[in-house]
Chains A and B, each alone.
Chain A
Amino acid sequence: MHFTLGSDLVALREHALKTFRDAAPSAEHSLYDDLWAAAPVPDDDSLLRAALIAEAAGASCGPFHPGERIALAWIAARHPGLRPVLESAPHVLAAVCQGTDGALEIRRGAGTFAVDGTFRVLAPDTATAGHALVLAAHRRRRFLVSVPLAGRGVRVTSSRTVQPDRRLLTVTLDQVGVPEHQALSWDAERALVSLGQVLAAAELLGVMQWTLDACVDRARSREQFGRPIGAFQSVAHTCADMLCAVELSRSMVYAAAARHDGSGAPEAHTAAVTRILLRHESLPVLTEAVQLFGADGLRWSGDLHRQLRRCQVLRSLWGTPASTTDDVIEYLRGQVAAAAAE
């Protein structure tokens, strides 16, 4: 056992951060595409590498959404049958908003499936997403289905989100026909959501670290009453609390990502705990930062509000807070029952 990052992993995080800061789209793809090129094996560091890339994206302050991209690459690697479908058209991933609760109903026809229901999905604002990959259910079987986001039987309501580069689409499907090859059996929806929870947490960690760094720079350089504001105990203690939040969160994210189930997905309970922790620790860091920056923190031209918005979005993804809490409570009840049985 060793609990610190090796030099190769630190270098990966630095390389990813530089790539995101340089904002070269092709280079960004290279980060994701290599991740699952080889099938994960137990004890490898594939998930940790994915988390470090997501962290770097969060710390870059750029318009990158690695969690969804990495999850799509993971699906393609796990289910080669989906690869041609995913490569035929750009997809967005509905599980980001669906969690494990919102599977659509599908019915089998002659060579096709008919899909009904409503789901929500985040889509880039700059381009029209052609398809969404949604979780669906037929009797007791689960499927991943590629559905079109335009055409007959498809109704889409688009809403702006707090992140200017992303829109929230509410999609209603009314007996939309999907060829059978676009609906593939899928038994890993929980693993997918767990993966997404840890990647979103890692990106939040990057956002928190960026915010802490910005606050410390500000506390050292901004002078009021003839001295740096970091000389005032209230400001210094605020920064100290932020460091505590960042390091506690980093410890949880790295621990959750350091071990996977053999497929590259984290253990479900650890992922739920990680989501709960980061959801709780992240937002106060951002809101305290706005206070520390004063009115400068409210400027549209600054980066702080962009990170605040990113934080708000990331906290909302991959399942409802209630469902995540339920998972943890069930775990704790199980622990008590097991101890009583002993």
Chain B
Amino acid sequence: MKKTLIVLTIIAFATTSLFASGEKETSIQEGLTFSNWSGSEESSKEIFKWMIDSFNEDQSSENQVVQINWPWGDTESQLALRAQGKEQYDIAQIDIRMLPALASAGVLADLSDIFGESFFSDNFAPGSISVGNYNGVQYGVPWTVAPMGMIVNPQILKDSGVDFDIVTIADFEKAMEMVKNNHPANNDSDAGNDILPFAAMTKDGGTCAPDFMVWLWTFGASVFDENGNCVLDSEEAIETINWFKSLSDKGYIQGAMGRGDARTLYKEGRVAFYNDALLAKGAITNEAFGSIETYAKPQVNPVLNEGDTPKASGWGHLLVIIDRSPKKVEAKAFIEHLISEDVALKYFDEIGMLPSKKSVLNSNEVKNDYWSNSWTPILDGGRLAETAGQNYSAYNSIIVENLQAVLSGSKTSEKAAADMVSRIENL
């Protein structure tokens, strides 16, 4: 009797477990999911909560938006994983660099069908529309689009005696030299206060490789030629690598520098130059230094020769709708809410995210803002990382590993360039 009871209990347990797991599969979708990374970041957590809450106020329970957060670096893989699974997700914030891979994987919906053809041309500038377009299909609504710029600390330059405009690479090198040698903090015994001339990315593929590409373009090199062949062993590319190595040898840049590290150091007033996107404002604001114009000035990257067009890495956030979402109409309403004037201006006001919608972009609040005005010269000329696409991470890893090898001295520039080409071609 006792044994029979135990057997029955085991069978009952096993069957109820099976039914319990099966029930979830058949449940009807309630609400909408908004996948993003900014909602979990300290600087934008509050505004994201407000954006969602203000939308939910007017929605019925089945159309309430809930957010799912993961770090920026995991966004592409998380969206991809969900595309293969059965989990619900409807709207997502993506980086423009993720668009080629996600679009060609068939994860994203064609927004022209949902928003209508004229929606984009009526509301956005052609440059903004193009970043959400892949192979002629409009997959993304431009949320905030602005190339990455060079953020300069005028106070550090002044304290170092830099009294000239930084236009060319030669000016840039001279300024870095002066910061390294002349700044009082670099001449005292406390290494804990040292000022780093340039917080160039050297740590991870996701930030180092796209930033390094800007220098490649500046020196007239590229990762691929027009036929798609890797040309990282070109004369210009090797010259760029040599130049980057010289910055390290002179102590102007340092290893293990990620974007987060650079922002932290900049916020502490310990970096003269670094590359970042418009959203940096939220991360580098430090009221202890006074108003932001005293310690942060966005400007274009230096050029090789005077008169050259400054190069910049394309940057921006898009709002996309997932192709298999059953609630595309509701998703559209949420996106319209996010880019509406009230919401976009509050987003801009709180963390400096430049709106993309023409009507909002032309508002006085935006036009009179120091940060966005400083960004105006940078707005033209942003270029998407050449590695964006299916092998984005693999290409970037190859570039950063070889660049690190050059910086540490374990490879020459020529050897590293040849290794990059060989590995990229044999991927």
Chains A and B form a bound pair: no
* Residues of B bordering A, CB below 8 Å: none
* Residues of A bordering B, CB below 8 Å: none
